[in-house]
Amino acid sequence: MTATAATTATTSTELDLVDLSPAIDRFRRDVIGALSRAPQRELPTQYLYDDRGSALFDRICELPEYYPTRTELAIMDRDAAAMAEAIGPGALIIEYGSGSSVKTRRLLEELRDAAGCVLVDISRDHLLRSAESLASCFPEVEILPVCADFTAPFDVPEPRVAARRRVVYFPGSTIGNFLPSQATRLLSQMAAQVGPGGGLLIGTDLRKDPAVLEAAYNDAQGVTAEFNLNLLRRINRELGANFELDGWRHQAIYDQELGRIEMLLVSGRAQVVEVGGQRFAFAAGESIRTEYSHKYAIDEFHRMARQAGFSAVKVWTDPKPLFAVHLLERA
């Protein structure tokens, strides 16, 4: 089922916002459903990104331990022109999980005659700030913000200038936040959106030394811990829950066999939490999983992409290599 626009607003820079942000009732259902599952309870990752969560994630991207952002930016600085050349002129760029759109700027600087840029993000205020900033930097490119949970199908707004092709841009290794079966479904959704001849420019984090990975998700300043705990703060604020934040601690561990980081909130004591009129008991040491971050070898990711209807065109990596940016094309 395709989502339809709930409201449309216009910002001070005359940007039309398509607002498909999840309703509070859905948020409540998702949280209660997730906390009801045993033995491993887990909260939906997308709800980490309210306005404060998005700002905290921007801080994470600047931490010395968190290599993915600076590594991908270095790849973009070196190879954005080659990426733009491979994408071709007249493309409509559809960025999933736009955040601050720092990498998108590098791509737009190199693209020829872009038909437009659709920014999709679940955090409405963060999205509008990014869209306004991009619109002021690239007045010749039509910026089209869509507030939505991109894990569900949504309609892509049409730019005023007809696009020669559609290309989804999905930087930041966010595809790793999904289980492989979920990631394949999301890639299939992208393939349907771009259509025959369309493209996908996507970042993936590569498999590497577990010590490097665990340090990246357990930073010394505790910003990732604050980002993780902010989800409980948001549930308290928006759903009237009573999580006591000092009773929970952040933990991130690497499962080498499955090739993924698991981010957890661990209960420091036996406690009972009420959400939406329902009570949930937690034992000391019991955890709630809030995020996966899968790491892929290049050929491993390409096999997954083929299942979704994409074929590999080009891959760019850093010298070590820690990270990869792939250009894929739908047949």
Which CATH number is 110's domain given?
A: 3.40.50.150
Which residue from 222, 204, 209, 208 is spatially nearest to 317, judged by alpha carbons?
A: 204
pLDDT confidence tier of residue 122, bands split at 50, 70 and 90: confident
For residue 133, being part of any structural domain is answered with yes
Phi-psi region for residue 193, left (φ > 0), alpha (ψ -120 to 50) or beta? alpha
Residues 195 and 74 in one domain: yes
Task: List the domain range (segments joined by +) for residue 235.
Answer: 27-44+210-294
- Measured distance CA(84)–CA(171) in Å, rounded: 15
Residues 17 and 69 in one domain: yes
Residues 259 and 310 in one domain: no
Residues 204 and 215 in one domain: no
Residues 177 and 304 in one domain: yes
For residue 51, being part of any structural domain is answered with no
- Measured distance CA(195)–CA(250) in Å, rounded: 41
pLDDT confidence tier of residue 172, bands split at 50, 70 and 90: very high
Give 59's contacts (C-beta < 8 A, 6+ positions apart): 223
| pLDDT tens figures, 178-223 | 999 999 999 999 999 999 999 999 999 999 999 999 999 999 999 9
Give 213's contacts (C-beta < 8 A, 6+ positions apart): 254, 261, 295
312 CB burial (10 A radius; 0-12, 13-18, 19+)? middle
Count how many domains the chain has: 2
Is 0.75 topped by the overall pTM? yes
Distance from the first to the final alpha carbon of the chain: 24
Mean pLDDT of the chain: 93
Residues 197 and 223 in one domain: no
For residue 54, being part of any structural domain is answered with no
Residues 202 and 277 in one domain: no
For residue 135, being part of any structural domain is answered with yes
- Looking at the DSSP bridge assignments, the partners of residue 165 are 91
